[in-house]
Amino acid sequence: TQLLEQSPQFLSIQEGENLTVYCNSSSVFSSLQWYRQEPGEGPVLLVTVVTGGEVKKLKRLTFQFGDARKDSSLHITAAQPGDTGLYLCAVTSGTYKYIFGTGTRLKVLA
Amino acid sequence: NAGVTQTPKFQVLKTGQSMTLQCAQDMNHEYMSWYRQDPGMGLRLIHYSVGAGITDQGEVPNGYNVSRSTTEDFPLRLLSAAPSQTSVYFCASRRGTGSGNTEAFFGQGTRLTVV
């Protein structure tokens, strides 16, 4: 059983479309991170959300932390081919374990 | 700035062989971790360390050993490789656990194939 379930697993859309991906858990977390991974590279941090209900924006990307701090969403407006990649959420489980979600693989077609 | 360096980038092993994946970081981070990445599985934690001399098991530790003799290095050992260990392995380091310290910095990965 995965601590962090992400959906959808795969997403293929046309350039200019909007999309939302989700990261869900039954546990409460003090913070949650979103990463993007491009082929052949390690993941790179996009954002950290800390407060329940918090919304953060990074250009066309909008991140929200659920009110109960159990889930999060990532919304991309007007997707571009450069947004293509694997999107991963991550949390600290217990005191030290740093756990990643199952990932959403996004492909944006020109 | 080197960050996190993993070697080798690619490796092919025969079943039963042993090898060590190397990981070094130059950011003086206390926390280091090894993950494996398989299709559709995201990143799964193998082992982690919270400082020199301190290691613990993650989600999928079987078949792997680690040690942490210095802050900089965190090698991952496969004692007897199996085809199920074919995967891409990532090493990561973090400064700490508070919300301002949780960013993980990754190496470029080691693609391991066991035949």
pLDDT in tens, chain B (115 residues): 679 999 999 999 999 999 999 999 999 999 999 999 997 678 999 999 999 999 999 999 999 999 999 999 999 999 999 999 999 999 999 987 666 677 899 999 999 999 9
Tell me which H or E stretch contains A86: strand A85-93
**Closest chain B residue by Cα to residue A39:** B108
- pLDDT attached to residue B97: 67
Asked if B4 and A42 come within 8 Å (Cβ–Cβ), the reply is: yes
- pLDDT attached to residue A92: 85
**Closest chain B residue by Cα to residue A44:** B105
Asked if B45 and A31 come within 8 Å (Cβ–Cβ), the reply is: no
B47 to chain A, minimum CA–CA distance in Å? 9
For A40, the token pair is: 């052949």
**pLDDT tens figures, A74-84:** 999 999 999 99
First to last CA, chain A: 36
- pLDDT attached to residue A94: 77
Tell me: pLDDT of A95 over 90: no
For A64, the token pair is: 């929200």
Asked if B99 and A50 come within 8 Å (Cβ–Cβ), the reply is: yes
Tell me: pLDDT of A104 over 60: yes
3-class DSSP state of A77: coil
Mean pLDDT value of segment A50-65: 96
Chain A contact present for B27, CB below 8 A: no
3-class DSSP state of B85: helix
Q: In a 10 Å sphere around its CB, with 0-12 CB exposed, 13-18 middle and 19+ buried, how is residue B109 labelled?
A: buried
